[in-house]
Amino acid sequence: MTASFRSGFACFVGRPNAGKSTLTNALIGQKVAITSSRPQTTRHAIRGIVHRPDAQLVLVDTPGLHKPRTLLGQRLNDLVRETYAGVDVICLCIPADEKVGPGDRFIAAELAQVKTPVIAVVTKTDKCSKAQIGEQLLAVSRLHDWADVVPVSAIQDFQVQLLADLLVGRLPEGPALYPEGELTDEPEQVLAAELIREAALEGVRDELPHSIAVTIEEMTPREGRPADRPLLDVYATLYVERDSQKAIVLGTQGRRLKAVGSQARQQMETLLGTQIYLDLRVTVAKDWQRDPRQLRKLGF
């Protein structure tokens, strides 16, 4: 008798910079979620798909839950709550290398209200000694009566497969939800915009991450190219909130923006499997994070 096939959705929640996106990418085996050492990097609930002989696990990587200070922050929190209302299993990510803080307790208290099983995942174990990991596992266990508590390291591939098995075990029986080989259901334009934003976040000052948004104005195959050497023209706009931020993103004589473009283009070519011509502009949209009209225009 053949073993039954399972399929369903899991989501990662946690405070900003808890290792959710890195773990999503490790489980899928390819980059679909952007990662950065800056908090609040993820702004969309990105879906990544894990294909296995026995199951199809759809991972939803969400923005970090936090106490919102702007309308954007509020909308991101609403997005997280909407996401975990519709999944089969939730993972709460808490990094091993930082003490359990008020942010973790805030999220744990929220998750204590839901009926969905919650697995606590202690991430970034590669940064700690065994004793520190043991202490963190105890501290996390005390927060709530979790369905499971698992230490992992996405960087060292430690217990990533074990976590996948635990997640699959919580999925309902059912057919595959997506075609074999598909890694994400995100439109290519959303992924391209996210990769540009990731490149723009690298190495900028702390006040910038929340202030950068990216829209793809146009994404079209170049006409008249040979069939074996296609080229995709991508025109994108980077939005910041102030002129001083525009100067930071551009860099001296536009050198920073050039580096951003070159890094993003390479990542996009890897992801989309085609050569890309990338045209980047920087524009100031004053205080867009607090303006409902501008938020709508930027896709929030």
Give me the long-range contacts of 81-84 (CB less than 8 A, separation at least 24). Answer: 81/110, 83/11, 83/45, 84/11, 84/13, 84/111, 84/114, 84/116
Q: What was the pLDDT predicted at 197?
A: 85
Longest dimension (CA), the chain: 67
DSSP 5: P
Quote the percentage of the chain above a pLDDT of 90: 30
Look-up of token digits 């994070």: 289
Q: Over the stretch 157-184, which tens digit does the pLDDT of each residue have?
A: 899 999 999 999 999 999 988 777 666 5
The pTM (predicted TM-score) of the whole model is 0.58
For CATH 3.40.50.300, list the domain ranges present in the chain: 6-169
What is the residue type of 162? L
Look-up of token digits 């993003």: 264
Residue 25 token pair: 């990418």
CATH code of domain 6-169: 3.40.50.300
Q: Over the stretch 45-59, which tens digit does the pLDDT of each residue have?
A: 556 788 888 999 988
Cβ burial of 98 (10 Å; 0-12, 13-18, 19+) is middle
**Mean of pLDDT values over 3-22:** 86
**Mean of pLDDT values over 79-87:** 73
User: What superfamily in CATH does domain 188-297 come from?
Assistant: K homology (KH) domain (3.30.300.20)
**Mean of pLDDT values over 193-212:** 73
**Mean of pLDDT values over 186-215:** 74
What is the residue-wise DSSP string for 202-259?
TT--TTSGGG-EEEEEEEEEPTT--TTS-EEEEEEEEEESSHHHHHHHH-GGGHHHHH
Burial profile 64-91: b = 16 or more Cβ within 10 angstroms, e = fewer? bbbeeeebbbebbbebbeebbeebbbbb
Give the Cα separation of 218 and 234 in Å (integer).
6
Q: Over the stretch 245-275, which tens digit does the pLDDT of each residue have?
A: 888 888 889 898 999 999 999 888 887 778 8
For CATH 3.30.300.20, list the domain ranges present in the chain: 188-297
